[in-house]
Chain A
């Protein structure tokens, strides 16, 4: 105990000694009058020139704290008097006015961003901190989807979305897969932005997307996807995106159609290679504000009455190509063609979609204003 008290006392004394050894505090560089040995006032990096404030004359009370016995004309009360008592005569009043130096305010970046999605697949670019992104999409197959995300601290983003990409078939001979929608998902992505660690480093994100349970036609389904994707600008007008996804999905219900007893089947019950898929995309900007986009991704498809378990949950390759047109800095219109299963190559299944995306910096500005 005595030893411990001795250590504490020694620490306190040493700290006090170090503190006393420091020079007395002075004005910070921003508030210190900037003077030049040659006379004229220096101009700070930001803001107007700042003139030295003369020390207050003890015999001349200033307005603040004045005892009211000051008979001298107040600034502005006489044409011959300077606007400010600190302004040397002959100088314009606004030049010599005492300026309260303001700390430089960090400007909030605005304008277009690198989008978190190509058309249907994720990119390696994250939303900037506190930037809100939304996308609403409609297509000729009756699909409606939306996505809302917010950037977290320049290193992550969180989103809630409804997707129309998950499809179902009734049995092996059913040629038409129909959508299960709305299919609500939540996503979280984290990563490093492009060029952060070294110049040629691509943007890299690790994302996780998981759906809520969806009951449809007496079957309960879920999906989950873990993605790792890298995105890199090549020159000013081209960017490529490449990644890999680790999928999982589950299907629960009367899968055998014999006795009505429910059974659960998951994608991870099969081979692991059936869960891993590569995806990617490319974007080209031939004109300012206009981009051509192509991406290849994967979508789960459930088949309730298929005979083989391997066919009950499948991943289907999806191709999308289209154009993004920046109507304004905060708004993009996108349209194109989506083929839900390019393994099938059915021209009739190709869908034309249109979507609008908004990017808002309002939350970011609000956060900055609180600092």
Chain B
């Protein structure tokens, strides 16, 4: 155990000193492409909110999507997000019925360094943990899911590229009495990827594509399924955007694709806005 503790301590210290070396500002702010997380952080003291829903083959009720989340920026270093979503799915009789989305309360803590913070050309780097704080209203008792991810993001001209790795785990008790043996996934590592492209002629529009992995719950097992998304985000306001996307999951076929609409809002305090940040930096240099 002591070797494991030492290993964890060394990794954590490396991250602390790494992320503490410097911070730039004016990166994008949205924490996810469609499902895949990005390495962008909210502005210091600012808020990033996302709300949306989607319909599947049977409408919103079963296979539909849903997301409501708000993230607060902790001093240009980190962000904490609280919300609910239907990213995880479950089915009691998976051979005969389609999995349905499960409403889960989710929270995330993300600690990162912005682009060019350590050296020119460095991508934004972020380590995040997302876990469950509530699971009610469905057959999977005490369902829990957690994802620990490391992701890098970089703006390359009109393109923003995201790539990372994610360790996922999930568990449920199958709706049985308290103390019944749990069904657990175990830690599984999968890649993450995302792409955003803003054409030069359409500076307010961004084409989105990503792939991520999410747990699917069944009474006797839990397995990871890939989720691929494709969409368009339109920056309608300086602080707000609307997004239309489609999402397809492993085993659903084309007919099981869901269509989603999301809105995003980013609010930054005056001191965190880029121009103000530059003024503050100049003042501190003097």
Chain A interface residues toward B at CB < 8 A: 140-142, 170, 174-175, 237, 282, 284-290, 292, 294, 296, 317, 319, 321-323, 325-327, 333, 335-337, 342-343, 345-348, 350-352, 354
Contacts and interface: CB of A to CB of B under 8 A. Distances in A.
B5 A343 contact: yes
Contacts of A319: 8-9, 12
B144 interface: yes
B30 interface: no
Nearest to A335: B80
Given A140-B107, A286-B22, A335-B80, A348 B144 contact: yes
Nearest to B148: A347
Given A292-B77, A333-B74, A348-B146, A286 B109 contact: no
A141 B135 CA distance: 12
Interface footprint category on B:
35 or more
Given A348-B171, A350-B146, 12 more contacts: A286-B23, A296-B9, A321-B111, A333-B74, A342-B8, A343-B4, A343-B5, A345-B8, A350-B148, A352-B80, A352-B107, A352-B129
Contacts of B17: 284
A294 B12 contact: yes
B8 A294 contact: no
A286 B77 contact: yes
A286 B75 CA distance: 10
B13 interface: yes
A175 B144 CA distance: 14
Given A292-B20, A348-B171, A321 B12 contact: yes
Nearest to A336: B109
Given A287-B76, A323-B75, A352-B131, A292 B5 contact: no
Contacts of B4: 342-343, 345
A175 B173 CA distance: 13
Contacts of B132: 140
Interface string B146-157: 101000000000
Given A140-B132, A336-B109, A347 B169 contact: yes
B19 A292 contact: yes
Binding site secondary structure of chain A: strand
Interface in B110-140: 111, 129, 131-133
B29 interface: no
A290 B74 contact: yes
10 contacts: A175-B182, A322-B78, A323-B111, A325-B44, A325-B74, A342-B4, A343-B4, A350-B131, A352-B109, A352-B129
Contacts of B108: 352
B45 interface: yes
Complex A-B, nearest 5 residue pairs according to Cβ-Cβ distance, in ascending order: A290-B75, A140-B133, A286-B20, A325-B75, A323-B78
Contacts of B23: 286-287
A336 B108 CA distance: 9
A144 to B, nearest CB: 12
Contacts of B184: 348
Contacts of A346: 169
Contacts of B171: 348
Nearest to A290: B75
Interface in B160-181: 167, 169-171, 179
B1 interface: yes
Contacts of B20: 237, 284-286, 292
A324 B53 CA distance: 33
Contacts of B1: 343
B236 interface: no
Interface in B218-252: none
A347 B77 CA distance: 23
Contact of B129 (A288, A326, A345, A350): A350
Nearest to A343: B1
Given A322-B78, A335-B74, A140 B13 contact: no
A342 B10 CA distance: 13
A347 B167 contact: yes
B131 A287 contact: no
A335 B71 CA distance: 12
A60 to B, nearest CB: 58
Given A140-B133, A292-B111, A348-B144, A282 B16 contact: yes
A351 B130 CA distance: 9
B107 to A, nearest CB: 5
Contact of B109 (A141, A296, A335): A335
A336 B75 CA distance: 13
B187 interface: yes
A322 B109 contact: yes
A174 B181 CA distance: 9
B286 interface: no
B80 A354 contact: yes
A273 B284 CA distance: 50
Interface in B52-94: 72, 74-78, 80
Contact of A317 (B5, B22, B145, B169): B5
Contacts of B182: 175
Nearest to B185: A348
Given A347-B187, A348-B146, A348-B171, A321 B75 contact: no
B169 to A, nearest CB: 4
